[in-house]
């Protein structure tokens, strides 16, 4: 009796907490819906755990389990009140989950709607031909490839035939065909496609992807210029949900069944991105008709486990430029003029922030020395001053001085960790996570600021100007700043390798149709906006590099005088400008 009272008290407390912090209304009378108050997605509680709980309750039928992201409560919908009541009486305050937690529950009036309705139509030019091959044929194709080697991409294993697909530039080198062309066993596929009305150019490049459950492929468009109009994907081993996204924000999740042939042409080929989320399961997708007769895809709360999936992506390499009508994702021409803020921040997210997160550890091992003029500036800061290092990286510019307050601000969490390690023994040094364009710091809080090798990662003049204006805002009147950026002219630096030619030729296409050249490291810059490769070497590992270890960082390299011009602002007085080690530098003072 005492025990039941305790349970009741606990449930009441949970009920009040759920009401006040989550708006969930528990009720005192039995109904088909139950909230599990203390287990949910955030506590690692899964659908399998639910089924374990009700395994022995023969008359209990669950309709749905709903666990919202990040929540430590979850919901159960039973077929009827009797089922719910039986579960409640046998399990409330008694049943335990894997980690020993006792579950407490309450009835609830309603549960959150966990269905998502997608009203956008399937991309034009996308065809999925189910049962394109038989089970026997599927097995033969699976056996055609030897998968004894280990995964060679971060998220999956790949093999190439005809031409190697180069992941750095997302293209092929037509001058270096592979010794193995597409296996002859695939020829019957083109014949069979004819019977479905697809008379296509015979593919000459094949990428075989093997995805274990939990693996996927990031959203992308297969580049226009290296490959022609039709791309095929034959699925083996497992169904999967492929997500299709259009730049107008349309989103369509599509089930791609095993043994199907997917044909991508027209809009689907050129104007949509496709990808597969790295998950061990896929949502069950219902296709329904809405009240006005439109087809809708409903992502239900139900899921289905994935098996290992192998896909054969067939492409035909292109001769001549892409002639498509779909400019946004086309890499045929370049975008001229200033980037929009959206596009610029998207570019920086992909080619600055995400890259630094991936390379932080290795990058930090290559950054120790302070440049002489930076050192000189830092030593000139008076005792008692507040010094901000904006974009501090691994903190190499934080001095071992205990007579000033040094604040290292860095956006990359990986670098911030390196920075925290480096500065922990320095009294008066603090690390904070911040974005140069969104600093939460008060106006005029700093006596001195350094911003070393940061502004060249901003991809529009407006954003670079905004960065300098932030520096001006943060300086107190009379305070000084040192700003440095990479110079386009590297002739007076140690950067250039002797006799190395520049081949900045591989254009990488970004979302929005922007083309950027990939720089050949250690050569003179020929472009102002470009992608600079970073070859990631894990410190402990001396294995040869793979193309997947190359990350591309965006840079805007500065012409002579460009930084001075950028710093010409009403409240800034330029004290000096100079060139050091391949960088343009400005020292300015707040008026
Ligand atoms: O696995 C698939 O079906 C798609 C693969 C893909 O999109 C690609 O390799 O470009
Ligand atoms: Fe693709």
pLDDT at 426: 92
- For residue 242, the ligand closest to its alpha carbon is 1
What's the sign of the alpha-carbon dihedral 86, 90, 96, 101? positive
Percentage, residues of the chain above pLDDT 90: 59
Judged against a pLDDT cut of 60, whether residue 56 lies above it is answered with yes
398 neighbors 392 (Cβ within 8 angstroms): yes
Structure confidence at residue 351 as a pLDDT band (50, 70, 90): very high
Of ligand 1's atoms, which has the minimum distance to the CA of residue 274?
A: 7
pLDDT over 70 at 329, yes or no: yes
Indicate if the pLDDT at residue 420 is higher than 90: yes
Of the ranges 213-222, 509-518, 572-581, the best mean pLDDT one? 572-581
Residue, of 513 and 450, whose pLDDT is higher: 450
**Average pLDDT for the chain:** 89
Q: What is the ipTM of this complex?
A: 0.99
Check whether 268 has a pLDDT greater than 80: yes
What spacing in Å lies between the alpha carbon of 256 and ligand 1's midpoint? 11
Rg (CA), the chain: 29
pLDDT at 441 over 90: yes
pLDDT of residue 274: 94
Predicted confidence at residue 560, as pLDDT, reads 92
Residue with CA at minimum distance from ligand 1 atom 8: 313
Q: Give the mutation target among 233, 269, 312 for probing the ligand 1 site: most ligand atoms within 8 A of CB.
A: 233
Q: Which residues of 423-452 are buried (b: 16+ CB within 10 A; e: fewer)?
A: beebeebebeebebbebebeeebbbbbbbb
Question: Of the ranges 389-393, 502-506, 513-517, which one carries the lowest mean pLDDT score?
Answer: 502-506
pLDDT of 337: 59
pLDDT at 497: 65
Cα(210) to ligand 1 centroid in Å equals 10
Does position 117 have pLDDT exceeding 90, yes or no?
A: no
Q: Determine the pLDDT at residue 331.
A: 65
Of all protein residues, the one whose alpha carbon is nearest to atom 1 of ligand 1 is 311
pLDDT at 398: 95
Residues 6+ apart with CB under 8 A from 14: 26, 37, 38, 104, 106
CA of 190 to the centre of ligand 1 (A): 18
Ligand 1, atom 6, residue with closest C-alpha: 313
What residues pack around ion ligand 2 (CB closer than 5 A)?
222
Average pLDDT over residues 38-55: 87
Q: Which atom of ligand 1 is nearest to the CA of 275?
A: 7
Nearest CA to ligand 1 atom 5: 313
Å from CA of 531 to ligand 2 middle: 22
Distance 221 CA to ligand 2 centre (A): 6
Say which DSSP state 212 is in: -
Distance 313 CA to ligand 1 centre (A): 6
d(Cα 270, Cα 507) in Å, to the nearest integer?
A: 17
- Give the range among 144-153, 169-178, 370-379 with minimum mean pLDDT: 144-153
User: What pLDDT is stored for residue 334 in this prediction?
Assistant: 43
Task: Give the pLDDT of residue 336.
Answer: 47
Ligand 1 centroid distance, CA of 207 (Å)? 8
Percent of the chain whose predicted confidence (pLDDT) is above 70: 92
Distance 493 CA to ligand 1 centre (A): 43
Higher pLDDT, 97 or 524: 97
Ligand 1 centroid, distance to 179 Cα (angstroms): 22
- pLDDT surpassing 70 at residue 146: yes
pLDDT number for residue 589: 97
Which residues partner with 288 through β-bridges? 296
Asked whether the beta carbons of 575 and 480 are under 8 A apart, the reply is: yes
In whole angstroms, what is the distance from residue 543 CA to residue 535 CA?
12
Q: Which of 153, 217, 222, 310 to mutate to test the pocket of ligand 1 (most atoms within 8 A of CB)?
A: 217
Considering only 55-69, 123-137, 170-184, 455-469, which range has the smallest mean pLDDT? 55-69
pLDDT band at 151 (very low <50, low <70, confident <90, very high): low
Most ligand 1 atoms within 8 A of CB, residue of 163, 255, 311, 316 to mutate: 311
Q: Are strands 386-390 and 405-410 parallel, antiparallel or unpaired?
A: parallel
Calculate mean pLDDT across residues 37-61.
85
Q: Which ligand 1 atom minimizes the distance to the CA of 207?
A: 9
From the CA of 158, the nearest ligand is 1
Instruction: Out of 141, 208, 276, 509, give the residue to mutate to test ligand 1, the one with the largest number of ligand atoms within 8 Å of its CB.
Output: 276
How many CB atoms sit inside 10 A of residue 17's CB?
Answer: 14
Residue 116: what pLDDT?
A: 82
Quote the ligand 2 centre to 279 CA distance (angstroms): 18
Which ligand 1 atom is at minimum distance from the Cα of 158? 9
**Section 117-132 average pLDDT:** 94
Confidence band for 333, pLDDT divided at 50, 70 and 90: very low
The larger pLDDT score, comparing residue 61 to residue 140, is at 140
| pLDDT tens profile 283-321 | 899 998 888 888 889 888 778 889 999 999 999 999 877
Q: 202: which 2 tokens?
A: 């015979």
Residue 303 Cα to ligand 1 middle (Å) = 22
The atom of ligand 1 lying closest to the CA of 165 is: 9
Q: Give dist(CA 424, CA 369) in Å, integer.
A: 18
Atom of ligand 1 nearest to the CA of 231: 10
- Judge whether residue 104 has pLDDT over 70: yes
What's the predicted TM-score (pTM) here? 0.52
pLDDT at 468: 97
Task: Please give the distance, rounded to the nearest whole angstrom, from the Cα atom of residue 233 to the centre of ligand 1.
Answer: 7
Q: What is the mean pLDDT of residues 198-205?
A: 96
Length reported for the chain: 591
pLDDT score, position 79: 84
In this structure, which residue's CA is closest to atom 2 in ligand 1? 311
pLDDT of residue 377: 97
Rounded-to-integer distance, Cα 16 and Cα 18, Å: 6
Q: Which residue's C-alpha comes closest to atom 9 of ligand 1?
A: 313
Q: Which of 24, 2, 60 is nearest to 10 (CA)?
A: 2
Whole-number pLDDT of residue 112? 87
> How far apart are alpha carbons 591 and 585 in whole angstroms?
19
Ligand 1 mutation pick, 166, 274, 278, 329, max ligand atoms within 8 A of CB: 274
Residues with CB under 6 A from ligand 1: 207, 209, 217, 222, 233, 274, 311, 313
Ligand nearest the Cα of residue 233 is 1
Q: What separation in Å is there between the alpha carbon of 126 and the centre of ligand 1?
A: 14
């Amino acid at each position: 009796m005492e025990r039941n009272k305790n349970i009741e008290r606990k449930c009441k407390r949970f009920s009040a907490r759920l009401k006040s912090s989550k708006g969930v209304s528990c009720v005192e009378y039995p109904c088909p819906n139950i909230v599990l108050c203390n287990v949910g997605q955030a506590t690692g509680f899964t659908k399998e755990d639910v089924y374990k709980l009700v395994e022995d309750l023969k008359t209990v039928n669950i309709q749905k389990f709903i666990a919202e992201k990040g929540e430590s409560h979850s919901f159960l919908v039973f077929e009827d009140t009797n089922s719910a009541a039986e579960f409640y009486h046998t399990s409330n305050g008694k049943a335990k989950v894997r980690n020993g937690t006792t579950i407490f529950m309450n009835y609830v009036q309603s549960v959150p709607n966990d269905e998502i309705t997608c009203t956008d139509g399937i991309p034009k030019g996308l065809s999925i031909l189910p049962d394109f091959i038989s089970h026997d044929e599927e097995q033969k194709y699976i056996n055609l490839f030897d998968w004894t080697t280990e995964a060679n991409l971060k998220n999956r294993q790949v093999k190439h035939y005809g031409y190697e697909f180069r992941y750095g530039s997302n293209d092929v080198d037509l001058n270096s065909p592979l010794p193995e062309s597409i296996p002859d066993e695939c020829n019957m596929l083109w014949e069979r496609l004819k019977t479905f009305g697809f008379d296509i150019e015979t593919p000459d490049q094949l990428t075989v992807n093997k995805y274990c459950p939990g693996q996927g492929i990031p959203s992308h468009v297969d580049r226009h210029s290296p490959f022609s109009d039709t791309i095929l994907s034959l699925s083996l081993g497992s169904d999967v949900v492929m997500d299709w996204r259009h730049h107008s924000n349309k989103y369509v999740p599509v089930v791609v069944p095993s043994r199907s042939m997917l044909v991508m042409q027209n809009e689907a080929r050129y104007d949509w991105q496709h990808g597969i989320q790295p998950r061990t399961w896929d949502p069950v997708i219902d296709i329904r008709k809405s009240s006005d007769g439109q087809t809708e895809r409903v992502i239900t709360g139900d899921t289905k486990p994935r098996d290992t999936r192998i896909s054969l992506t067939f492409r035909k390499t292109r001769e001549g430029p892409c002639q498509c009508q779909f400019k946004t994702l086309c890499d045929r021409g370049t975008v001229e003029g200033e980037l929009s803020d959206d596009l610029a921040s998207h570019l920086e997210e992909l080619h600055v922030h995400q890259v630094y997160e991936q390379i932080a550890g290795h990058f930090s091992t290559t950054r120790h020395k302070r440049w002489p003029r930076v050192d000189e500036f830092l030593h000139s800061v008076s005792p008692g001053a507040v010094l901000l290092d904006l974009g501090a990286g691994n903190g190499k510019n934080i001095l071992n001085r205990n007579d000033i307050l040094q604040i290292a601000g860095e956006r990359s969490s990986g670098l911030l960790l390196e920075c925290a390690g480096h500065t922990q023994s320095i009294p008066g040094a603090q690390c904070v996570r911040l974005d140069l364009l969104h600093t939460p710091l008060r106006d005029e809080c700093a006596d001195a600021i350094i911003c070393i090798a940061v502004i060249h990662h901003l991809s529009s003049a407006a954003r670079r100007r905004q960065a300098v204006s932030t520096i001006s805002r943060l300086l107190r009147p009379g305070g000084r700043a040192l700003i440095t950026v990479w110079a386009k002219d590297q002739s007076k630096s140690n950067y250039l390798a002797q006799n190395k030619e520049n081949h900045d030729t591989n254009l990488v296409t970004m979302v929005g149709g922007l083309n950027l050249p990939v720089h050949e490291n250690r050569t003179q810059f020929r472009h102002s906006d470009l992608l600079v490769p970073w070859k990631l070497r894990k410190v402990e590992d001396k294995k040869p590099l793979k193309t997947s270890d190359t990350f591309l960082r965006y840079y805007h390299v500065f012409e002579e005088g460009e930084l001075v011009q950028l710093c010409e602002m009403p409240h800034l007085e330029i004290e000096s400008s100079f060139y050091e080690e391949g960088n343009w530098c400005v020292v300015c003072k707040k008026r």
